[in-house]
Amino acid sequence: MNKKPDLLILNCKELLTIRGASSKPKIGHELDDVGIIHDGAIAICDERITDIGETKDLIEKYKDDTNFKIVDASGKVVSPGFVDCHTHVVFGGSREKEFVEKIKGTSYLEILKRGGGILSTVNETRKLSVDELIRKTKKHLDNMLTHGTTTVEIKSGYGLNLDNELKILKAIKILNETHPIDIVPTFLGAHVIPDEYRANPDQYVNLVIDMLSVVKEYVKYCDVFVIVGHFLLNKAEKYLWKQKIGLSLKMHINEFKNIGGADLAAELEIVSADHLDLITDEEIDKLVKSNVVGVLLPGVNFYLMNNNYAPLKRMLEKGLPIALATDFNPGTCPTENMQIMITIACLKMKMSPGQALNASTINGAHAIEMADDVGSLEVGKVADIIMFDIPNYNYIPYHFGVNNVEKVIKRGKLVVDYKKI
Ligand SMILES: [Zn+2]
């Protein structure tokens, strides 16, 4: 017997369950299937989904029980909340000045070389207290939630010394406890060599290794920015890290140039390899073999005005599980909005809207090992739900640059409702 629901969502015109992939990410043609139920309904008790099916069946089942709230989703599209599995949300300052330079033709790597880019954000971040960081970050999390993101991975990496990295991780911990969004924290001390270690980068590598023993209690993952102009690590150091910390790994690789990160990612069997813009067929095969999820961040290509979009077709043919995320950060993708990522993925990488939705929900959940709990609408899962005020799901990428969300339900509670505005 199903638990008595405390909330019923009824009459969903299109209920996109994204079901059937909690134990393994979707690959190839599996990504086309959004598990649609027409005139669908969801029953929720406490924080979890207890029943799902057609509206007439759920009404029949619960007709003798009136002790629940009803949300009427007539004419609406309903999906799982977005899982944004790659972001850098906690930072000081902003970089709109670089936006103007970029339009005039200065490249990202040139800006970085003369102390702009990440290093300028590091300076601004170091100036802020934990409370100031929390206040600033809360606004970004609010933006995420109102645009349908209910789970987010956040990396540190704008502190680049123990005190400042800890400050960021403490801010993330407090926000996770106080904000409706669920946050998965990642340590990214290996982001870029800070100014004070430019003459001696090896010393900074040692410092990052030392930091790990302190920060590991705050994080689920350790990430490394293996990208030219940032953090070049040799294998020995990588192995050392793995043995020393016992944390699962993620890597930024193959973004501006292919410097061989994919081999290392496969060898270390990391959880996700992110960016993958410039990747060879052999490297894709290796990632597939090692069960690595490929996280694609097309908002960055769009924002940096390059055409190095990840080779989606080859990835799908070879069976690489792919997820979509914003990479929200102040320099290369300043938007919290997953709906725009879906539009860019469709227009620039030729993803279908269905593929993009799977990549933004269940496969994103696999990229942070939370697919048992989130990423699809199935019995037993956390009730993280978006209700879109649109006629069908193709409309999400089609009607772009605006917020198509009407309501967001997080852990069974209505947390966003534009109907009330
Ligand atoms: Zn990133």
Query: Quick check: 104 pLDDT over 60?
Result: yes
Q: Any residues with CB less than 8 A from the CB of 277 and at least 6 apart, and which?
A: 254, 255, 256, 301, 308, 309, 310
Residue 288 lies in a domain: yes
Does 114 show up as a binding residue in the annotation? Answer: no
On the question of pLDDT at 387 being above 60, the answer is: yes
How many Å lie between the centroid of ligand 1 and the Cα of residue 252?
A: 6
Domain co-membership, 157 together with 31? no
Annotated binding residue 19: no
pLDDT in the model for residue 235 = 61
Return the beta strands (E) in 148-292 as ranges. 149-155, 182-190, 221-226, 248-253, 272-275
E-strand stretches of 276-367: 293-296, 322-324
Give yes or no: residues 120 and 262 share one domain.
yes
Task: Give residue 327 CA to ligand 1 midpoint distance, Å.
Answer: 5
Does residue 373 lie in a domain region? no
The reply to whether 41 and 169 lie within a common domain is: no
Q: Does 211 share its domain with 336?
A: yes
Averaged pLDDT, 53-72: 93
- Å from CA of 57 to ligand 1 middle: 44
Work out how many domains the chain is built from and give that number.
2
Question: What separation in Å is there between the alpha carbon of 275 and the centre of ligand 1?
Answer: 8
Q: Is 233 helix (H, G, I), strand (E, B) or coil?
A: coil
Is 126 one of the annotated binding-site residues? no
**Residue 115 annotated as part of some ligand binding site:** no
Give the CATH number, domain containing residue 38.
2.30.40.10
My answer on whether 151 and 267 are in the same domain is yes
- Kindly give the distance from the C-alpha atom of residue 297 to the centroid of ligand 1, in angstroms, as a whole number: 8
72 is an annotated ligand-binding site residue: no
Cα dihedral across residues 413, 417, 419, 421: positive or negative: positive
Domain encompassing residue 172? 83-367
Strands 385-388 and 77-80: antiparallel
Cα 251 to ligand 1 centre (Å): 9
Shared-domain flag, residues 120 and 142: yes
Q: Does 307 fall in a domain?
A: yes
pLDDT in tens, 319-335: 999 999 999 999 999 99
Closest CA to 341 of 400, 291, 272: 400
Give the distance (Å) from ligand 1 centre to CA of residue 121: 14
Question: Is 411 annotated for ligand binding?
Answer: no
The verdict on whether residue 366 carries a ligand-binding annotation is no
372 bridge partner residues:
none
If asked whether residues 264 and 336 sit together in one domain, one would say: yes
Q: How far away, in angstroms, is 188 Cα from ligand 1 center?
A: 9
Query: H helices of 41-129, where?
Result: 55-61, 96-104, 108-113, 118-126
Q: Which residue has the tokens 């003369």?
A: 114
Q: Which of 6-10, 40-44, 250-254, 284-288 has the lowest mean pLDDT?
A: 250-254
- Residue 253 C-alpha from the chain's centroid: 16
Instruction: Give me the CATH number covering residue 196.
Output: 3.20.20.140
Same domain, 168 and 59: no
* Same domain as 113, residue 260: yes
pLDDT at 156 over 80: yes
Q: For the chain, give the percent of residues with pLDDT over 70.
A: 96
